[in-house]
Every structure is written in C-alpha cells, then in structure tokens.
C-alpha cells in the first residue's frame, strides 16, 4: 500500500490552515505527509498517494473557489483505490444570533460534504464521514480544543479500514 499522505487545503483567514497542519501532525508517522495549499496542488501529485485529505473554509455553504477549482481538475476515476477524507471550518449555527441566519446556515450545508462528494465522484474511497471544525467568528479564532480534536480525527484516519 502507498503510504504517502497528501493534505490539500485552502484558507482565507488562516484557521483552516491551522487545522490542516494539526491534521498533518496528527497522522502519526507514515512514510511521508505532504501538505499543500489548494492553489499550488497539482493533479499529478495524486497518483502516488495512499490517503488524500482535503479541507476548506465553508463560504456560502461550499468550499472556496480555489479549492473547488482544484476538485474540478481531478480527472474521473483518478482517485480509484485511494483512501479519502474531507473537512471544513465553519461557524457554530446554534450560536448565531439571528434565527433566520441560523436556519439558512443549517439548511445550506457545509463545505466538507461537497468536498467528500467530489472526491467520491472521482473514485475515492471515503473512509470517514465529512468533519467540521468550529471557529468563534468569521475570521477566527478556532474554538478551544479544535486543534486537538483535529489531531485526534487524523489519528482515526490512519486506523480507519
Ligand atoms: C463570505 C463568507 C461566507 C461564509 N459562509 C459560511 C457558511 O455558509 N457557513 C458557515 O458555517 N460559515 C460560513 N462562513 C464562516 C467561515 O466558515 C469562516 O470564515 C472560516 O471557517 C474561516 O476559515 P479560514 O480562516 O481558513 O478562512 C463564511 C464566511 C465568509 C467570509
């Protein structure tokens, strides 16, 4: 089995990048962990990957344009046989003041699910459900404990069948 893990992320205010780095660190010590910004990720890198982890801030219920563009460039079937996982950062809907906004945010959905769907469409084997990590406010900071939760989530990826 190929032991290279690739973590691809986008981040506007830096919070998703922090989560991505905690995930990369939490993966333990497989042969190689590469972490790449979505704007610099190349489709050719996917060929030698055993586990692919992709994450984005949730912006308007979906990943950023940069991350979405990268997902679009993945050729059909390119992820066949590759273990994949998706994450995002997001606001905690229950804490939003306006009931209307709360409802819209909850029903609109989140980036991680859309990323997971795109990875599956390209043939990826989704090994855990899409996961969200919480920010206190639009520009952050991350909620307390989220970096540790991200590292724990990453450790679970290594063990997932
Ligand atoms: C234009 C815009 C749209 C957003 N849309 C959502 C959303 O639909 N749902 C949500 O939970 N958070 C939303 N947020 C909050 C972002 O998820 C938050 O800014 C992000 O987690 C920060 O990550 P970053 O520091 O990596 O950019 C939005 C923020 C901005 C600026």
60 lines ligand 1 (CB under 6 A): yes
**CA dist., res. 136 & res. 134, Å (int):** 7
| Most informative mutation of 19, 64, 91, 133 for ligand 1 (most atoms within 8 A of CB) | 91
- Residues paired with residue 111 on neighbouring β-strands, in sequence order: none
23 lines ligand 1 (CB under 6 A): no
28 lines ligand 1 (CB under 6 A): no
**pTM: predicted TM-score of the whole model, two decimal places:** 0.96
pLDDT tens string, the chain, 161 residues long: the values are 567 899 999 999 999 999 999 999 999 775 689 999 999 999 999 988 999 999 999 999 999 999 999 999 999 999 999 999 999 999 999 999 899 989 999 899 999 999 999 999 999 999 999 999 999 999 999 999 999 999 999 999 988 87
């Amino acid at each position: 089995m190929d032991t290279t893990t690739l973590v691809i992320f986008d981040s506007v205010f830096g919070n998703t990048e922090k989560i991505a780095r905690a995930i990369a660190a939490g993966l333990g010590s497989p042969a190689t962990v590469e972490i790449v910004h979505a704007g610099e990720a190349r489709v050719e890198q996917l060929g030698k990957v055993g586990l692919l982890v992709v994450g984005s801030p949730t912006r308007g219920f979906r990943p950023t344009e940069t991350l979405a563009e990268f997902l679009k460039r993945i050729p059909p079937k390119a992820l066949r046989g590759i273990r994949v996982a998706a994450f995002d950062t997001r606001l905690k809907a229950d804490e939003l003041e306006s009931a209307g906004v709360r409802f819209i945010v909850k029903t609109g959905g989140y980036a991680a699910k859309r990323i997971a769907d795109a990875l599956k469409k390209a043939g990826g084997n989704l090994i855990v459900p899409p996961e969200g990590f919480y920010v206190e406010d639009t520009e952050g900071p991350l909620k307390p404990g989220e970096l540790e939760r991200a590292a724990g989530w990453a450790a679970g990826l290594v063990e997932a069948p």
